Chains A and B, each alone.
Chain A
Amino acid sequence: MQYKIATLALGTALALATTTGAHAGNATPNDIRIGAYFVHFDTSATAFTGPYIVPGLSTSVKNTTTLYLGYVRTLSRHFAVELAFGWPPVTHAVARGPAAVGSVPYNGQEIATVRWLSPTALLEYNFFGPTAHWRPFVGVGVNYTYFYDRSVTAAGAAVSGGPTSISMPSSVGPAVTAGFTYRINQRWHVVASYSVAQVNTRLTTDTAGVFRSSSVHFWPNAVVLSVGYSFGL
C-alpha cells in the first residue's frame, strides 16, 4: 500500500515535471554515474520478543561502503529523475544488549550478515541553468530494499540456540537527497550528495521452529561521491 502511494506520487510528480518544461534542445539528457556509497546506519531496533529469550536483546548494523551506480534522465530545465543503487553490500548485524546471554557472549558479537539490493528512484530539482558549473539539487523519492543472502554467524547461532534462519520482508519507504553537481564540461561532471531513506523491516528468526522477532529501523544515510558522463540517445 505504502509502495503504491509512493509510486503514484512519484508518477504524478514525473508527469508534472515533464509537462512543465521540455528537454527539447538538451542534446545529452542521459547521465550515467559511478562512484562510492558511504552508508551509515542509525539503526534503532526493538528488543527481540519471543519464546526463551531474555529482555534487552537488540541489534545494530555496521557502516558499509559500496559501489554507487546511477542513471539520471533530464526531464526539463530543472527537473531530472535519478535511479540510484549500490552494488548490493554485505551488511553486518552486531548484537547490542547484555554482555552475555547465560554464558554465551552477546554484546558486540557479529550475529548475522545480509545483502541489500536497495534501488532508489528520485525526482530531483536542480537549481541554476543547465550550463552552470555548480548546480545544487534536492530530491525526493522512494526506496525499495530487498534483503537476501541472509545468514546467521556461528555467534548468532550460539546465542539463538541452534541453526537459525532469518526472514526480513522487503522495505518500501521515502528517500530524500541533497547535493550538488560540478560540471567539468558538457560530457563530464562530478556529483556529491547526501541521502537518507526510511528502511524498515520486521526481522524474524527461526531457531528449531521457535520464532523471535524485532522491528528494525535502519535509517541508512549515505554520502555519495561520483563521476558522471552525459550523452544523448
Chain B
Amino acid sequence: MLKKFGGLTVAVLATLALAGCGGNSQSAAVSTSTQPGTLAVNPPLRVASLSASAFAANLDATTSGQQLLQLAGTPACGVDFYYLKYWTVAPDGKPTEVSGALMVPTGAGSQCSGARPIVLYAHGTTTASNYNIADISDPSNAANSESAMIAAVFAAQGYIVVAPNYEGYDISNLGYHPYVDGAVNAEDMIDALTAARAALPHTFTPGTTDSGQLYVTGYSEGGYVAMATVKAMQAAGETVTASAPSSGPYALEAFGDAIFFGQVDIGSTVFAPLVTTSYQNAYGNVYSQTTDVYSSTYATGINTLLPTTTPLATLFQSGKLPEAALFDSTTPVTGNTQLDQLLAEPTSPPYTPEQAALFDAGFGSPGLVTNTFRAAYAADALTNPDQAMMTLLNGGTLTASDVALAASPSVGLRQDFKVNDMRNGGWMPKEPMLMCGGDQDPTVFFMNTQIMAAEWSPLVAGGLVSVLDLNGTPGGPFAPLQSAFQGTYAAMVSAEGASTAIQSYHATEAPFCMVAARDFFAQVP
C-alpha cells in the first residue's frame, strides 16, 4: 500500500520537475567585456521616472527647488533617470567599473522625444564616496541637489544628459579618485558617453535617440573635466558641438602657485589630499611618505582619507583635517627676501580687506601642509615660474604671450600640475566654448578662466571662445543671468553677512552657469 502511495509521489515529483522547465522572465544582460565604454548592464536600471508636472511639483516643495525652478524654467519634459554601470580605464591602465547617470527627457512634446541633443556633464568636487548622480530618489545622497540641477536645467528642457560619478565613487573600487587627472577624467567622460549611447535604444523610450549634437559642460572640478574632455575628444578626431566648462581649475599650475604663495582658497584643505593622493597614485612623485607634505598631526592615513562616507563636518571635528588652515600661521623664513615675502600671510594692501581676511583663514596652527614642503614648492614656483602667475603677481594684464607654463618645474607636485594644466599641449578648442564663472569666486579663482582666455585670446577675439563673468557689469546675451546672480548674492550677503555668504559663492554660481551653458548651446545647433 505504501509502495503504491510512493509511486504516486514519484509521479507528482516528476510533474514538479517538468514544471521546473517553465519559463521565467529575464533580467538585464551583464556584459563580459571590460573594454572602455562597455555598458556593464544593459538595459540600465531606471531609478525614477518623473513627468514634467511631477518633477515641477517635487522642486516646488523645497526653497532651493523653487529657486532652481525659477532659474531653469518650468519643466517642458518629464525625465527618466537611469543608472549606468560601465567600464573605463584606471590611471594604471587597467579596466575599472564605474557608474553614472543617463537622464532621458520624456513626454509627448516634440522637444521631449525623437532625436535629442546630448549634454555630457561633469560634476564638481565631492568628498562623499557614495556620490551617485543617478540617484534622484534619495534626498540623502550627496549628489541629489546636483542631480536635480542638471535634470531641471537640461533634461527637463529636452536634452539627454550623461553624467559620470567618476572613478573612486559609488560602485568604483579604485580606492581613491583620480582628481584633476585630465586624461583619466576625460576617458571616463567619453566612456560614459559611449555606454549611454549603447543604452539609449534599450530604455523605456527607445524612440528618443541621439541627434548627434554633443554639448560638454561641468562645474568646478567638472569644469576642468569638461575642458579636458573637449581636449581629448578633439585629439581623437571626435566632434564636440559646443562646450561650456564652468568655474574650473583649468590653469592648475598657476592656481597651485597662487595657493602656495598664500592665496589660500576656500576648500583647500579638502582639495589638497584629493590632489596629492591622485597624483601620488598616478605618478608616484608627490612624496616618499605623507609627512613629506603633511604635518604630523594629519599625515597618518591622509592618503586614504578621501573620498569617504564620513561627513566632512565629522572629519573636521575629529581632527582628521583642519577646516581651513592649509598652511602654518608661522610662515617659513628661508632668508630669500622675495620668497619670504611670498610666503608671508597676504595683507591688505595689495589685497582687498575681504581677500586678506579670506586668505588669513587659510593659516592656522598646525597647518595641514608643512612649512618645509610649502617653502620648497614656493621656491620652485619662483625659480621656475609660471608666466601667468608672475604676470598676475606683478599686476600685469594677461596676454597670449605671457601665460606660458613653467619650463621645467622641479617639485613633483608642480610637475604634475603642469602635466594636467589645460594650457599643456598647445591645443585650442575648435568649436564654440563658453567659460562661465565669477570673478570673486573664493574657491576656484577666476584667474583659471582668465588664463585660458588669454591663452586663447585670438579665439576670444574671434568669438569662438567666450567668457562670462557672472559678477561682471551686466551686458550682452547673458545680462539677465548676471543681474540675477548678483541680485541673489546681494540678498545672501544682506541675510547672512558677507563672511558667511562668501562661503557659498562658488556653489551659488553653479545653476546660473548651467543656465548660461544651456542658452549658449541653444545658439550652437
Contacts and interface: CB of A to CB of B under 8 A. Distances in A.
B12 interface: yes
B19 A146 contact: yes
Contacts of B377: none
A209 B28 contact: yes
Nearest to A88: B19
Interface residues of A, number: 41
B157 interface: no
Contacts of B20: 146, 148
Given A52-B135, A102-B48, A210-B45, A163 B22 contact: no
Contacts of A52: 45, 47-48, 83, 135, 137-138
Nearest to B12: A119
A37 interface: no
A208 interface: yes
Q: Is the interface of B mostly helix, strand, loop or mixed?
A: mixed
B24 interface: yes
Interface stretch (B49-57, B114-122, B212-220): B49-57
A158 B43 contact: no
Contacts of B50: 102-103
A164 B137 contact: no
A44 interface: no
Interface residues of B, number: 37
A81 B43 CA distance: 51
B23 interface: yes
A85 B5 contact: no
B41 A150 contact: no
Nearest to B58: A102
Interface string A206-225: 11111000000000000000
B23 A165 contact: no
A81 B8 CA distance: 13
A83 B8 contact: yes
Contacts of A100: 54
Given A146-B16, A146-B19, A208 B137 contact: no
Contact of B5 (A81, A207, A209): A81
A151 interface: yes
Nearest to A207: B45
A73 interface: yes
Interface in B1-48: 1-2, 4-5, 8-9, 12, 15-16, 19-20, 22-28, 30, 41, 43-48
Interface of B: 1-2, 4-5, 8-9, 12, 15-16, 19-20, 22-28, 30, 41, 43-51, 54, 78, 83, 85, 135, 137-138, 204
Interface of A: 14, 18, 23, 29, 52-54, 71, 73, 75, 81, 83, 85, 88, 100-104, 115, 117, 119, 146, 148-152, 158, 161-166, 206-210, 233
